[in-house]
């Protein structure tokens, strides 16, 4: 069964995006991640930034997941205001993995996305990045590693922690360095 996905706005005026195409990509990514919850995607086309957040209504398989994305999270970096399917897959994958994590009891203590510190974000992103890679979504590991180093330091020990997070498959919130 395909996950129900809605996208707003239904028609874009500032960016060259198609809500139907975004919904189709989101359904494909949800299937890869294993999410069956209904998903509402809200895109702020007024900003080229790439901030993303997710709100999970309740930790259950039928709770609605709301994904809030700024348009840059879906944008082709070489053709601004144009949709980039590969970038969208990676962005949606990362925020869907976080949503999937939030459905688990061992992430119940995780703060809301918009309340997390940069350190908490970098840590959870590193954990998500490795899983994205194993799903075939081709995240750029060096970008994740650089962000992680900026938050934790540029040392061999920090790189070892990053490598552990990147390679991990079943961590809980309290397993992430924060």
All CATH 3.30.2010 domain ranges of the chain, comma separated, are: 5-107
Q: pTM score, two decimals?
A: 0.95
Query: For residue 1, is pLDDT > 90?
Result: no
CA distance linking residue 148 with residue 150, whole number of Å: 5
The residues, ordered by sequence, that sit 6+ positions from 35 with a Cβ below 8 Å of its Cβ are 3, 65, 96, 99, 100
Mean pLDDT of 137-143: 97
Q: Tens digits of per-residue pLDDT, 66-105?
A: 999 999 999 999 999 999 999 999 999 999 999 999 999 9
CATH placement of domain 5-107 = 3.30.2010
CA distances from 169 to 68, 134, 166, 175 (A): 25, 10, 8, 12
């Amino acid at each position: 069964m395909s996950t129900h996905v809605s996208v707003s706005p239904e028609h874009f005026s500032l960016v060259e995006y198609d809500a139907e195409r975004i919904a189709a990509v989101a359904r494909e990514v949800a299937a890869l991640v294993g999410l069956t919850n209904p998903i509402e995607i809200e895109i702020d086309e007024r900003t080229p930034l790439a901030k993303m957040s997710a709100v999970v209504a309740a930790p259950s398989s039928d709770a609605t997941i709301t994904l809030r994305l700024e348009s840059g999270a879906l944008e082709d970096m070489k053709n601004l205001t144009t949709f980039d399917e590969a970038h969208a897959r990676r962005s949606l994958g990362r925020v869907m993995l976080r949503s999937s994590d939030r459905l688990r009891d061992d992430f119940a203590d995780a703060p809301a996305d918009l309340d997390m510190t940069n350190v908490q974000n970098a840590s959870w992103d590193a954990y998500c990045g490795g899983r994205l890679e194993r799903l075939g979504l081709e995240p750029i590991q060096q970008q994740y590693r650089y962000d992680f180093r900026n938050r934790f330091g540029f040392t061999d020990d920090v790189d070892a922690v990053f490598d552990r997070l990147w390679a991990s498959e079943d961590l809980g919130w309290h397993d992430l360095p924060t």
